[in-house]
Structure 1
Amino acid sequence: MLSKFVFPLPPTLNEIIGTARSNVYASAKEKRAWTNRIAVECFGRKQFPDRVWVEFIWKIKNFRRDPDNISAAAKFVMDGLVEGGIIQDDSLKFIMSPVLHWYEKGEDLVQINIADHPIWNGRIIALENPRFQETKQQVIAVAPEVLLPVKSSEIAEKEEVSITPIVGERIPEMQTVTAVVEVLEEEISYWGELLELADLINREYERSLTTPAAAMLHARNAGEWLLRAQSLLPESEWLAWLNANCQVSEQSAKTYMAIAKSWLSVQKSSVHSPI
């Protein structure tokens, strides 16, 4: 399930700091007003009872503003979504990483995409088969060595020579261009997916090192991408591919994949454990 919300642009970080410096009570009052405003606009919308993936699309008139200054307004939005009952909580127990932020030229609005599965650019994706081709230029396979058979009558017209047919020898049929192109496209798709997986694994590995509070979540994400890559490769090529394309060591990769495999049981036990 995927839901999209559009809200006016809440105060940015500089505006929040400016208000707090002048009057701390005014800052708290502004925060409460924005939380209530967003909660009211959530009335009657579909609710998400479990974990969610979130994207922010910031539509900004002035592109000279810093992105981190703008994205600080996400706090107002998340608190309003909790207050409006759209999501259960804005803690890491329910908000899955990565939380994506996109920036576009627009009329100072923020669009929120919320889904119960991983999303990318407003579309739900499957962890087992990630598809990012929609955001890239289409790859055209070229096979210059494959030639279509030419009719003997056409050769005679162009070169104005007589053609003596070969008798008693059967010429093997040539593989068609379409069949060869399909094979090349499959190869390109296969290696393209592995490259995408390597990028995702390296990104989650780096985030696990730089954000200790969410390190386990990033390790889980990296483990899921590692499991997918391992399923695509022959067993004899797995370690060579890992060492050549990923920053993760072999031992860390095993740990991350174990975390990903056991994540569901860990989540269930955490839900049912007494507080």
Structure 2
Amino acid sequence: MIPMPLMTLNQYVDSERGSLFGGARIKKQATDTAAMFVQRAMMNGVKFDWGKPLRFDWYWHDRRTDPDNIAFQHKFVFDGMMVAGFLTNDNWDNIVELRDRFFIDKANPRVEVYELDD
């Protein structure tokens, strides 16, 4: 579980256009946040068998943001997993299928990542 919202694609694009280093700064912050929560999960014994489908349950605070604008954050989550040492590489060998589901939770926006058995 990683608290959200880290950002939307539109916010990221705006930061890229607004400053030479704006996008890089935001990407680092989002990756570091993801890495911190992945490290906590690892300390609690969470493990994945890489090469299996992954499900992302995105809990957003409202319906004003399109789901694809939210799900672009896969990149930050996977980069955070690599920084934390949970994932060696986010390449084709490890990431074979992604399934996204979207929900509203005004009080607790977050993303939950699960390994699927099928």
- Where on the TM-score scale, by shorter chain, does this alignment land: which range? 0.7 to 0.9
Pairing 1:80-159 to 2, within 5 Å after superposition: 80-97=80-97, 99-107=98-106, 108-113=109-114, 115=115, 119=116, 124-125=117-118
Residue 101 of structure 1 aligns with an amino acid whose one-letter code is D
TM-score w.r.t. the length of structure 1 is 0.38
Residue 75 of structure 1 aligns with an amino acid whose one-letter code is K
| Higher alpha-carbon Rg | 1
What is aligned with 1:11? 7
Q: CA deviation at 1:89?
A: 1.5
User: CA 1:56/1:100 → structure 2, altered by over 3 Å: closer, same or farther?
Assistant: same
What is aligned with 1:66? 66
Q: CA deviation at 1:103?
A: 0.5
Task: Decide whether the 8 Å contact of 2:8 with 2:70 is kept in 1.
Answer: yes
Residue 105 of structure 1 aligns with an amino acid whose one-letter code is I
Q: CA deviation at 1:6?
A: 3.1
Q: Which has the higher helix share?
A: 1
* CA-based RMSD: 1.8
Q: CA deviation at 1:15?
A: 0.3
Q: CA deviation at 1:21?
A: 0.7
Residue 101 of structure 2 aligns with an amino acid whose one-letter code is W
- How many angstroms apart in 1 are the aligned matches of 2:73 and 2:101? 14
Task: Decide whether the 8 Å contact of 1:49 with 1:88 is kept in 2.
Answer: no
- How many angstroms apart in 2 are the aligned matches of 1:60 and 1:8? 7
Task: Decide whether the 8 Å contact of 1:49 with 1:87 is kept in 2.
Answer: no
Q: 3-state DSSP class of the match of 1:91?
A: coil
| Larger relative contact order (Cα-Cα within 8 Å, sequence gap ≥ 6) | 2
Q: 3-state DSSP class of the match of 2:32?
A: helix
Residue 20 of structure 2 aligns with an amino acid whose one-letter code is V
1:161-218 deviation per Cα after TM superposition (whole angstroms, max 9, x unaligned)? xxxxxxxxxxxxxxxxxxxxxxxxxxxxxxxxxxxxxxxxxxxxxxxxxxxxxxxxxx
Residue 110 of structure 1 aligns with an amino acid whose one-letter code is V
Q: CA deviation at 1:47?
A: 4.0
Which segments of 5 or more consecutive residues in structure 1 lack a partner in the other structure? Answer: 126-275
Task: Decide whether the 8 Å contact of 1:55 with 1:112 is kept in 2.
Answer: yes
Sequence identity of aligned pairs in percent?
A: 23
Q: Which has the higher strand share?
A: 2
Task: Decide whether the 8 Å contact of 1:40 with 1:84 is kept in 2.
Answer: yes
1:194-252 deviation per Cα after TM superposition (whole angstroms, max 9, x unaligned)? xxxxxxxxxxxxxxxxxxxxxxxxxxxxxxxxxxxxxxxxxxxxxxxxxxxxxxxxxxx
User: CA 1:86/1:7 → structure 2, altered by over 3 Å: closer, same or farther?
Assistant: farther
- Count of residue pairs the alignment pairs up: 112
Which segments of 5 or more consecutive residues in structure 2 lack a partner in the other structure? Answer: none
TM-score w.r.t. the length of structure 2 is 0.82
What is aligned with 2:30? 34
- How many angstroms apart in 1 are the aligned matches of 2:103 and 2:2? 14
